[in-house]
Structure 1
């Protein structure tokens, strides 16, 4: 598992992200940034890409744009947007309605297999592009890429000793 993030310097400062390994099967994502300009109407584009035989990431099933304020206010029920909102509400300080300003933190977030439909085994990239839009234009805030592998869980080879 790996994560990459970047921000628009005109809108975001102090962008950092990293993965903390929990065990062989799971890692937790931590992200920080400071919004220098208030985000009034956040739009998120979520893409899922799968690595193919030529080692390139190709589009895989999902490429959706969501008006995040509508998701928060329960006026939009795009399934992947609702899943993203449940995860952000649990692991970040973005647990309130729009607009957003100041520090944004995500701590110890992970993708529970219960949240997503089953994916075929392989390497995937979840790409999130954040923007702030109004009726006439849209301005990039930043992006995050989450690289992960779908596989059978690794089991410990240690034999357990029965206790008497």
Structure 2
């Protein structure tokens, strides 16, 4: 019985993907930092159109990140308007991903996004002014999620041989939705 249910749900999910074009639209971002390690924090989402919003972030690293570990968690909003864990909860040693010693899929996706939209596009350590400009989630990089609202939480810590220091948390709120087509009609001028 369970196998039949899984096959039926899989068919419905695949059917939904073939009928619609999925987009991940950023709705909001929250940035929380350890003020002894990070200063001058700014993060906001800018809407571009019905289907796209971009994130812009700035911060200054007071203490360089030597061995950052990013815990990535995905939550989905349920019927009671609460965020519940959804499939993804991984720890990514980003320096190992950059040096190609670790090929965890979500780490590779994150590294591609970092290289494209940030100045964090080099090997460790990371220091000074860090920026992200016009970043968005490209549907070609991510697995297809069911339509709905999600929270992606990135908790950054820095480790050395003796301790782990909390650096900051970024929470991205987004919506997986159908691509909205423009209803504008193009009027042609006839001579």
Same fold, judged at TM 0.5 (above):
yes
Number of the residue aligned with 2:175: 149
What does residue 94 of structure 1 align with?
120
Which moves more between the two structures, 47-56 or 128-137? 128-137
Which residue of 1 is the match for residue 19 of structure 2? none
Residue 105 of structure 1 aligns to a residue whose secondary structure is strand
Higher helix share: 2
TM-score normalised by length of structure 2: 0.83
1:94-117 CA-to-partner distances (Å, cap 9, x unmatched) read 111011111110011110100101
Higher strand proportion, which one?
1
Deviation at 1:160, TM superposition (A): 2.9
Q: Look up the match of 1:38.
A: 64
Task: State the match for 2:21 in structure 1.
Answer: none
The Cα offsets for residues 27-52 of structure 1, whole Å up to 9 and x where unpaired, read as 11000000001111011000110000
The equivalent of 1:60 in structure 2 is: 86
1:59-98 Cα deviation digits (max 9, x unpaired): 0010000111100000000000000000001111111101
Work out the CA distance in 2 between the residues paired with 1:158 and 1:39.
48
- 1:141 positional shift: 0.5
Deviation at 1:133, TM superposition (A): 0.7
Q: 1:61 to 1:163 in 2, by over 3 A?
A: farther
SS in 2 for 1:151: strand
- How many aligned residue pairs are there? 164
SS in 2 for 1:93: coil
| Cα distance in 2 between the residues matched to 1:103 and 1:35 | 6
What is the TM-score when the length of structure 1 is the normalising length? 0.96
Flag structure 2 segments of 5+ consecutive residues without an equivalent: 1-26
Larger Rg: 2
